Structure 1
């Protein structure tokens, strides 16, 4: 009961909550990463079929335009090959499996990345801190992400609406799945209430007695973490936008995509 109380306190008063957890910080990261991974997998199971359906609809719309420009013989052969290939089912199965695997691996990587980053910061600027304690602090900072995943999973499962766009990226989202994402979309997609909440937990935890980093240094460490992480997460979207922009030369039929409310 004391551990649950400490976790709840950490969500709103990070420094006090972390200090109240005491020896539980040695093992708390284990259930936290399991809960996070479960929420990610659950979201993937619900969202991936919706994503596949939306992608297929956009692809079909584009192919329809291209087929209309093909000679009759070529069009008939193409449609026959597509019908016999069974590629769609294979791609869907691979996508579902990949989403689950990468969800579990990604959860563990996020925990290790955050813990290692601030373990180095604590070792440089503060008292010696056990790595397991930083793992637990990282797990606590990721709790808002877990809450977000659960809320979004329930919403998608109950409404059948795919929440395609993350964070503030929904404000500048591409109109279609075939439209290249902009740099602003890549950046704004990293920002939402849950991410900010997690950063606040990290900042407060760094100034706890367990870690003991001074406020100015905690600010510097968190800012460095946010910039490095934000750039690393935005780059793949930016690169995708560049390649899509360079490769798109034909007419694209617009298929509206759902936005995160």
Structure 2
């Protein structure tokens, strides 16, 4: 009787013991919980970035604390897209430069005597000719592309950080760097799309933006002022301005609409002039030299 009673008690308590053991063993370990939280945080950041591309104010407010460090992966993405595009375009660019140089040299050597032509060709062989120039140009494109990506983020972030502080908004500099990186994300997407297009078709996209509409037929011809302006404009640039404008009016940054309009307008005008001036000046010198 006693044995049966004890056995019955053990039998009745056995399911409860199993449940207690399962509840302890089935609980996620600290490392697993940490990994789960990190994955959820990463997905939230990814969702916030995607939202920013179409609803900038809502997306920036959703990112919150991630804005303190988000500029780091964004500048890496931008620089990587620039380098990838430069690497794909390098052999095509070299071919175009080779053809343009051959045409120019042919016209130049036709006016030389046989001795002068032989001496000129010998000097070109010793110098390395167009191959050396192309290698230097392609390397410079990659280096300046990386530096340019970092400078663009720093320039935009500093410009609007100073503007926000001038208007009394106590926004952090790291937040403005992330806002700058988000506004440059359409530029990175453009580089990726163009990189894929050139890699698949083998066609060099020689002229940026809408510059192809007014680009000179010959690469040795001086570019016009219209080219200097239109080469900076395309749908990707407008998309970036849209993201920047919306982000400035988010609760995180807190600029009023009229101040955001004034800031973005001043930024576009100043940046456009600084980018157009070198092209305009080089065109003036090329036309003065008879090109």
Relative to the length of structure 2, the TM-score reads: 0.83
SS in 1 for 2:251: coil
Match of 2:18 in 1: none
1:181-219 Cα shifts (integer Å, max 9, x gaps): 000010011110000000010100110001111001100
Which one is further off, 34-43 or 70-79?
A: 70-79
Bigger share in helix: 2
Deviation at 1:127, TM superposition (A): 2.1
Instruction: Give 3-state SS (helix, strand or coil) of 2:155's partner.
Output: helix
Q: Following superposition of structure 1 onto structure 2, how do residues 205-224 of structure 1 map, counting pairs within 5 Å? A: 205-224=247-266
Q: Give the Cα separation in 2 of the matches to 1:97 and 1:77.
A: 29
1:162 aligns with 2:198: no
CA distance in 1, matches of 2:106, 2:64: 62
Query: 1:185 — aligned with what?
Result: 227
- Name the SS of the counterpart of 1:165 in structure 2: coil
- Shift of the 219–190 alpha-carbon distance from structure 1 to 2, 3 Å rule, reads same
Which structure has more relative contact order (CA 8 Å, sep 6+)? It is 1
Q: CA RMSD in A?
A: 1.1
What is the Cα deviation at residue 100 of structure 1? 1.3
1:126/1:10 CA distance change after superposition, 3 Å: farther
1:6 to 27, 31, 48: 48
Contact 1:115/1:137 (8 A) holds in 2: yes
Q: Distance in 1 between matches of 2:168 and 2:57?
A: 15
Residues 42 and 153 in structure 1, CA contact (< 8 A), matched pair in contact too: yes
Q: Which moved more, 1:30-39 or 1:41-50?
A: 41-50
CA distance in 2, matches of 1:104, 1:80: 37
Kindly state the Cα deviation for residue 246 of structure 1 after the two structures are TM-superposed.
Answer: 1.1
Give yes or no for contact 1:126–1:212 (8 Å, CA) kept in 2: no
**Residue aligning to 2:278:** 236
Higher alpha-carbon Rg: 2
* Correspondence 1:134 to 2:134: no
Q: CA deviation at 1:29?
A: 0.4
The yes-or-no answer on 1:87 pairing with 2:124 is: no
Indicate if the aligned counterparts of 1:126 and 1:213 stay in contact, CA closer than 8 A: no
Higher mean displacement: 81-90 or 1-10? 81-90
Equivalents in 2 of 1:235, 1:53: separation in Å?
Answer: 28
Counterpart CA distance in 2 for 1:202 and 1:73 is 61
Please state whether the residue corresponding to 1:142 is helix, strand or coil: helix
Unaligned runs of 5+ in 2: 1-42
Q: Which residue of 2 aligns with 1:47?
A: 89
**C-alpha deviation, 1:126, in angstroms:** 4.2
**Secondary structure at 2:259 match in 1:** helix
User: Which of residues 58, 63, 78 in structure 2 aligns to 1:36?
Assistant: 78
- SS of the residue 2:206 aligns to: coil
**TM-superposed deviation, 1:62:** 1.3
CA-CA distance at 1:107 after TM superposition? 0.4
Between the aligned partners of 2:206 and 2:130, the Cα distance in structure 1 is 20
Q: Identify unmatched segments of 5+ residues in structure 1.
A: 250-261
CA contact (8 A) 1:169 1:189 kept: yes
